[in-house]
Every structure is written in structure tokens, then in C-alpha cells.
A and B are shown apart, each in its own frame.
Chain A
Amino acid sequence: MNDDLYFIPIIIEAFKQPDKSSALKKAFEQIEQLGKLDRYSQGWRQFCLFMNETLVSADNYSADQLQEKLINIFKRPEVFDITIEKNGIPIETLSFKYSGDSKTAKNIIPGSYKLIFESGLCIWQGTVNAEDVLQAGLKMAADDTGKEKRKPTKTVPLFSQAGEINFYASIGSGSMEIVIKKIRI
């Protein structure tokens, strides 16, 4: 039996039986049981897509409704990614919502960084220095005793006031908080 298409011979066999309803019921049970085995896990998922196709096929839509459905499914969601590159190598990708968002990348060490919007456009590039992200041991110990809010070591504007980047220092490596203002489009 072909593991990925294991459900097809089972369905075919059910259709050969005189009592098709009962045979199909047993067939579905068998497909589900086998689908729990590792060997047939891909086949089970394929069966699910296959069954979904029967559902889509059975629904009656007008051409206009189908067109609208297709446009909605392939509509761009209101999110975008920004990839952080260090010395030309991508190190992390963060997702942002149009409604305004902030995300923090940790383990930032000194080096040359770029922020790349998902279209490929570079929205910021610069050098992160040791004093931006690395903290001396003595100072860290002092800060740990207090409860006051962490303050950035440096804040830089992002791409003509589209947001800002805040750098925070810590021992060994620091962090970079990317703040994006609400996208007004």
C-alpha cells in the first residue's frame, strides 16, 4: 500500500461493497485508525485535504461569490516582518502589526547591523557599540538591586520617524527594541 495515498484503496474498496453506507463508515474508521500511526501521518493529512476538497466542491457559489472569497483569502494581512542582519547575516526576523508594535531582539553584541523590511528595503543600518549593549559587572549589580524601569542606553530614530530603536545594555549581550508607530495607510 502506498503510505501517502493509503486512503484511496480503502475508499475504492468500500465502493465495491453492496452496502456502501456501512462500508464507507468502516472505511472512514479504518482511515482514521491508520492515520494515527507514524507511517501514515502524511497520508492522514493528505486525506484531510482530500476531504476538504469534497466539501469545497459540494458548496454552491456564484462566480461573484467565488471571486470575493478568493480576494479575501489572498488579501494581505496587516502584518509585516523586519529582519535583523548582523554583518550581512540574518539573525532574527520579527513580526509587526500595522496598528503599532514593538518587539525586542536579545543577544545583541557590538557589530554592524541592518534592519530589513520584508520587501527587501533596508530601513536602518548602523554600528552598535559596546557601550550601547554591554554593561560593566559592577553597574549591573547595582541596577539589580533597584526596581526602577530600565532605561535605554541609546535611542535612534527609524526611517524618517517611522519609529525608533532603543538599545539596552546587559552583561555579555544587550537587546534592541524596535518600536514601529501605527501604519496609517
Chain B
Amino acid sequence: MDTNNVSLLYDRTKTYKDLPLTKLAELIVQESDRAALNEFHDNRKLFRFGDNSAMLFADFVDSLCGSCWALKLVNSNYNLLEKARDHLIDRFCNLPTDQISQGPDCRYYFDGFLEQMHTLCLQKDINPLEKEVLSVKTLQQMAMRHFMYCIKESSRSLNPLRSRYQWHLNGDIIIVWMPLTITGNKRRLWLEEHIDDPDSNRPGEKQRIQQIIDSELGLGSINYMGDFKYTLSVDCGLEESQPSNTEDGTTVCDIAKAVVDEKAKNIHLMRPSVRILGRTTLRKLITRIFEQITEGCYDEKKLAQRFGLSQSSLTRFAGSRWQILANSRPPDLWSNLAHLLSKNGTAFSSIARSCGIWKKVQEVIRISG
């Protein structure tokens, strides 16, 4: 990045909203212009998919991470998905202004966008409108690509068996993830022995090196002893589950119990805001939610207060009202209930099909597009 470049000559009397996207990106990259970054995030509706109208970057990321397919891609790991979402937003929002700033630097990502635009524009003779259309298309593709990278990056960072290693290479640094079993100087020696012809300037070099590390040394995983009983309770099936007693002596039915067990088992996959409750409190919360819904007195606000959650956290977890959009998904608990029903062997899906429900479901989803 050349911060001394004065060729931009941006006319400050003009408002940012008149600027083409590439000009905004240049201001962000070359002048660390926070106002240009704000213009990008607050006013530019650059992203769209399906039949939706154009939307801001943050709304696009929310739609992406809120889709049923993104959750499936991360194996229903809400924690991983939330981390990937945060990483992605940081990559396009974080503008370090001093030496102590942490996290990614959005200037590198906007610079990557400018480089790509430069290459594409050299190949085509296009008018300014076509250039702007190409800009928004390229940026959306880039956001998608980085979302996939962020899932990988988050997946690595959530693995307690690995840590980052800075490999100093001819004056440059390549950051990779390595198993904790290899420590200190042994990491450098391992890399020198196993990575042929490393070149920090080669595009995609970091990914290449990481792939070699992953394939040679594996990713590692932890099986928690405490999970065993929960696995058993779920695997035994819904019919064999016993009603559980809650603190006020009422009972919940089998299916709710199965959801409670599954959530408690997989608490490490949940969003940090809910995970912080711990297994015991989480069990109580889910049990209480099912009880209140069955009794017709579900009060999200009071329940959030009682369990020390913010209302938005409870809404994301088990909200009673949500937006119906194609490819979106219900709040976490209902999504989890749906997963459980589809896998429980009671032919839930085939009965729904025989009742003609599927056709109607697809129609509503399509209209909601």
C-alpha cells in the first residue's frame, strides 16, 4: 500500500456518495479514509442474491450466516459460524490507525479488490457503468470467497490442539496453524523439511503451506468423556427417553428431553452468549422454554432476564417470531428440533410427505423467496 500516493486528488467538496466503488476503495487503501469506509458500510447497498433487493455488506453477511446451508456447512456448529461471521466482518471493517490495533486490516482486502478490478478492466473495454457493475459483482464474489476462508480460519482457531506459528521467511512472515505437539524451534525445522520452495510472495502460498501441514500432521480432535452419556441418551431414541423433572416439579415430554440432551451434549458448538450459561443452566432454560410453550405462556423477555441473557441472545436462540426467507433458518433451538425430528427414525418426513405437507411448505418458502 502506498500511503504517500497523492494522485488520487479526491475533491473533498464532493460528497462520498458520488464516488464510484473503486474510488472509495482507493481512499480506504491509500489514505486510510475512515469516512470512505463508513460510506461503504453505511450507505452502499452493493450486495444482492436471489430475488432480494440490494443490501449493505452487514446485511448480506447476516443473510449468509443465517442461511440453513451455512449452518449445514459448519455441521451445526453455531460457535464456529459466529466466529467466521466476526472474522469476515473484521476483514472488511477493521481499519487499524495505530501500531497497537489488533485484528485484520481491511486495507489489504480492499487492496486485493482493487488489484482484481485492475486486472479485469485491463482485459475488457468497458464503460463506467459496466465498471461499476463489475465492481459490485467482484466484491460480492470476494466476500463469498473470504467467508469460506473465514470458516477454515475459525475452525483452526477453535481447535485447542493447535496454535498459530509465525514462520519468518526471507524477511516476511507467514502465519500458519500447527499442532501443539510440535513446539518452538521444531516447528521451523518441520516446515523447512516438509515445505518445498516456500515463497511468501507467491499467491495462495499460505493456503498451500497450511494444506501440507493439515495433510501431514492431521487436524486433531477431542472426545470428551462427559459426552458419552448424552450420546447414549440421544442414540437410544425418543421413545425410550424418560420425562425429566424441572425445578418446579413439572415434566416435559420425550421430544423436549431429547433436545435438552442434545443441546447439553453439544454446548461447545453453541453461540458464546448461550454457551456461557453452562450445561446445567442451559438444560433448565430449554426445559423451561418447552414448558412455557406447551402451557401457552412463553415470555421471552422474562425468561431472558431470569437466565441472565440479553433479549437478543434469547431471540436468536429460541425466538417465537422470525423472518421467513428462502434459505434462511429458524432460531437455533427450533432449527435443532427440526434436525432431531428429521433424524429420529420415526418417519417424521415421510408422514409429512404423505399428508401433502411438503408441497405446501415448498410453496410458502418459494413465495417468501
What residues of chain A have their CB less than 8 Å away from a CB belonging to chain B? Answer: 1-2, 4-5, 8-9, 11-13, 15-16, 20-21, 24-25, 28-29, 32, 42, 44-58, 61, 63, 66-67, 69-71, 73-77, 79-81, 98, 117-123, 158-163, 180, 183-185
CB proximity of A125 to chain B, nearest CB, Å: 9
Flag if B129 contacts A32 (CB, 8 Å).
no
User: Smallest CB–CB gap between B334 and chain A, Å?
Assistant: 6
**Could you tell me the distance in whole angstroms from the C-beta of A155 to the nearest C-beta in chain B?**
17
Q: Which of B49, B127, B365 has the most chain A CB atoms closer than 10 A to its own CB? A: B127
**A residues less than 8 Å from B254 (CB atoms):** 15-16
B161-179 interface (Cβ within 8 A of A): none
> How near does chain A come to B194, taking the closest CB pair, in angstroms?
25
A153 to B304, CA, bound (A): 64
Can you show 30 pairs from A to B with CB atoms below 8 A apart? A1-B296, A2-B293, A5-B298, A8-B334, A9-B294, A12-B290, A16-B254, A28-B355, A44-B364, A48-B360, A48-B364, A48-B365, A49-B328, A49-B364, A49-B368, A50-B337, A52-B362, A54-B342, A73-B67, A73-B327, A74-B49, A74-B67, A77-B49, A80-B133, A98-B133, A118-B136, A119-B136, A120-B39, A120-B44, A162-B129
Given contacts A54-B341, A55-B342, contact A121 B132 (CB under 8 A): yes
Interface SS of B by simple majority:
helix
Given the interface contacts A9-B294, A54-B349, A183-B133, does A161 sit within 8 Å of B127 by beta carbon? yes
Given contacts A13-B253, A48-B364, A56-B69, 19 further A-B contacts (CB under 8 A): A2-B320, A4-B321, A12-B255, A45-B364, A46-B330, A51-B358, A52-B361, A52-B362, A55-B358, A71-B144, A73-B67, A74-B60, A74-B63, A74-B64, A77-B49, A117-B129, A121-B19, A123-B129, A159-B127
Nearest Cβ on chain B to A68's Cβ, whole angstroms: 10
Q: How far is the CA of A98 from the CA of B134 in the complex (A)?
A: 11
Please indicate the chain A residues that have their CB under 8 angstroms from the CB of B330 in the complex: 46, 49-50, 53
Contact status B54-A73, CB under 8 Å: no
Quick check: B321 and A28 within 8 Å, CB to CB? no
Given contacts A28-B351, A48-B365, A183-B130, contact A75 B294 (CB under 8 A): no
B256 part of interface (Cβ distance < 8 Å): yes
Interface of A is mostly: helix
Within B93-148, which residues are at the interface with A (CB < 8 Å)? 124, 126-130, 132-137, 140-141, 144, 148
Chain B residues with CB below 8 A from A70, complex form: 64, 67, 69-70, 73, 144
Question: Does chain A have a CB within 8 A of B226?
Answer: no
Specify the chain A residue showing the minimal Cβ separation from B327: A73
Q: Which residue of A lies closest to B368 (CB)?
A: A45
Chain B residues near A (Cβ < 8 Å):
17-21, 39, 43-51, 53-54, 60, 63-64, 67-70, 72-73, 124, 126-130, 132-137, 140-141, 144, 148, 238, 253-256, 290, 293-294, 296, 298, 320-322, 324, 327-330, 334-335, 337-339, 341-343, 346-349, 351-352, 354-355, 357-358, 360-362, 364-365, 368
* Chain B residues in 8 Å Cβ range of A54: 338-339, 341-342, 348-349, 352
